[in-house]
Amino acid sequence: MEKFADLKNRLLISCVVIAFVTIFILFSGHPVMTVIVMFIAAITGVGAIWEYVEFLKTKSIHLPFILLAIFTALLIFTNYLQILNYSITGITQIMLGLFILAIFLYYFSKVDEAIVHISTCLFGIVYILVPLSLMIRILYPETIVHVPMNGKLWLTYLISVTKITDIGGYFLGTRWGKSKLAPNISPGKTLVGSIGGFIFALCLSLLFYLFSHFFPEFHFSLTFVQALILGGLIGIFGQIGDLAESLLKRDAKVKDSNSIPGVGGVLDNLDSLLFTAPIVYIFIKNM
């Protein structure tokens, strides 16, 4: 079918990405793999920030990419330090404070449009790097809570439920969707696809609940009610995250954040996770 013309590329790239992510998650506890995970997180963050900076160039806003890239690497490094020593606290907040100071110092000599540039710099950090940092903390929950918890399964839960929302919405919306959800932002999104993605998220979240119920030895705890609430929130906020990035692309007048065949760019793949990672992080922190 013509509607599914790009499905082959999507599935191929997605399978490769899922395979790599699965390997990294499974072996993330090994000291060497921890370093590799941090390196990949830094590269991902820098790539996402680069795409964000390129977006803004279309609006004649030129941000200091090198400064943002350095901060990205330092932020990931502070997370690594907390993984090595759980007693280290507040270092991430200190790093954010130093970055704000550095941004203001940078623009002391660039007064024109300083408000716009400083604001967009800070928005990029909050929008991209903070959620990425929270995903690392979810993978290594010892930095969040002091009870046995399987971070590998929690990160798998976050990614799986978020992405099944995208997949469910894509299939059902493409096949049966007619009424547009947000035509001015993303013409391909439909009401049927949105409802379908939400239902898919609930179903997969409930499957994780069943797993936690029958295999408590894996230290992945999720009650029926929690699975419904958390799955529902992910099903909603994942779609909002997708639309949020579409809004940025629409304003920048670009189709994809990058041109990786079949999947677009880094932000195209992170968009929904940027909104769902904080939800799962808050849930784990308050368990």
Residue pointed to by tokens 């540039």: 117
Tokens of 123: 């928005």
pLDDT above 90 (res 197): yes
CB 279 within 8 A of CB 134: no
Which of 64, 15, 23, 65 is CA-nearest to residue 40?
A: 23
- Antiparallel, parallel or unpaired: β 180-182 and 186-190: antiparallel
pTM: 0.90
Query: What pLDDT does 30 receive?
Result: 84
Backbone φ, ψ for residue 180 (5° rounding):
-75, 140
Q: With pLDDT > 70 as the criterion, what percentage of the chain qualifies?
A: 90
Phi, psi of 232, rounded to the nearest 5 degrees: -65, -45
Identify whether the C-beta of residue 77 lies closer than 8 Å to the C-beta of residue 92.
no
Q: Give the helix ranges, DSSP H, for 107-223.
A: 114-124, 130-139, 151-176, 191-214
Which residues lie closer than 8 Å to 87 by C-beta, 6 or more apart?
none
Q: Which amino acid is at 170?
A: Y
Average pLDDT value over all residues in the chain = 87
pLDDT digits (tens, 9 = 90+) for 225-279: 999 999 999 999 999 999 999 999 888 888 766 655 555 688 988 999 999 999 9
Helix (H), strand (E) counts: the chain: 11, 2
Answer whether residue 13 shows pLDDT above 50. yes
What is the Cα–Cα distance from 244 to 239, expressed in whole angstroms? 8
pLDDT of 68 > 90? The answer is: yes
Task: Determine the average pLDDT of the residues in 177-196.
Answer: 85
- Band (15; pLDDT cuts 50, 70, 90): low
User: Which of 166-180, 210-224, 254-268 has the highest average model confidence (pLDDT)?
Assistant: 210-224
At 70-121, the pLDDT tens digits run 999 999 999 888 888 777 777 888 988 999 999 999 999 888 889 999 999 9
Per-residue tokens: 214: 């029958």
On the question of pLDDT at 17 being above 70, the answer is no
SS3 190: strand
DSSP letter (8 states) at residue 187: E
The pLDDT value recorded for residue 147 is 79
Residue 202 or residue 37, greater confidence? 202
Residue 79 to residue 88: CA distance in whole angstroms: 10
The backbone torsions φ and ψ at residue 144, rounded to the nearest 5 degrees and listed phi first, read -110, -50
- pLDDT given at position 156: 93
Q: What is the pLDDT of residue 39?
A: 92
Residue 144, classed as helix, strand or coil, is coil
Is residue 1 very low, low, confident or very high in pLDDT (cuts 50, 70, 90)?
Answer: very low
Report CA torsion sign: 265, 43, 52, 181: positive
